[in-house]
Amino acid sequence: MTATIALVDDDRNILTSVSIALQADGFSTRVYSDGEAALKALIDNPPDLAVLDIKMPKMDGLELLRRLREKSQIPVIFLTSKDDELDEALGLAMGADDYIAKPFSQRLLIARIRAILRRAEAPAVALGAGEEPPQPVLVRGRLSMDPARHRVTWNGGPVTLTVTEFLILETLAQRPGIVKTRNQLMDAAYQDDIYVDDRTIDSHIKRIRRKFRQVDSEFDAIETLYGAGYRFSEE
């Protein structure tokens, strides 16, 4: 089935050129020129993935992402100005799956979109009609992760994670007590030789912790080993 990509940008040239490139690559596209116009549409009729610009009038991409995450966990890539580390860090902390700095290669954007969609679709593909889940539920102390259904609970309470957050946590929880370097976590969450830097993984870890602490204010199962990486501590 054709994947639908929503593009939100106030630059008509970018909307047109990226939309044409995506359609030529087999995607269906919807375009929106500002955050206000996009918000209701993204919630009421979710696409498979959204690409959001940060700098927009009326409602910027960060506010759009914040309000979108209150209702939806659709994958999001956001576009930011070159070298604007603040925008990148904020977007990742608020739940974006990836970011690309302008000016960007359309080939790179399409590669990132395909990589994220493959990760998002993997659980649905794995669970066919009438089949048992091919991956068992992962239980580590109070943590339960069901990869086939993309469900996470902590002490029985649901925790909603994006695809990228799920893969990072799953990688840590699979081997409790074992330190995973940032590079290992990058490889698990960002496949196909796509480069991301350390700041991206750190931002995702902070958001995972924040989500778990909404369920349990004393959550401390993800430990930071400074200079080494992260590990999951099973109780």
pLDDT digits (tens, 9 = 90+) for 28-45: 999 999 888 899 899 999
The residue with greater pLDDT, 59 or 99, is 59
CA–CA separation, 113 and 76 (whole Å): 9
Long-range pairs for 34-39: beta carbons < 8 A, 24 or more residues apart: 34/8, 34/10, 34/58, 34/59, 35/8, 35/59, 35/60, 35/61, 35/63, 35/64, 38/6, 38/8, 38/64, 39/64, 39/67, 39/68
Q: Is pLDDT at 168 greater than 70 in this prediction?
A: yes
Q: What is the pLDDT of residue 61?
A: 86
126-143 pLDDT per residue, tens? 444 444 445 688 899 899
For residue range 46-57, what is the model confidence (pLDDT) as tens digits?
999 999 988 887
The most confident of 105-109, 125-129, 150-154, by mean pLDDT: 150-154
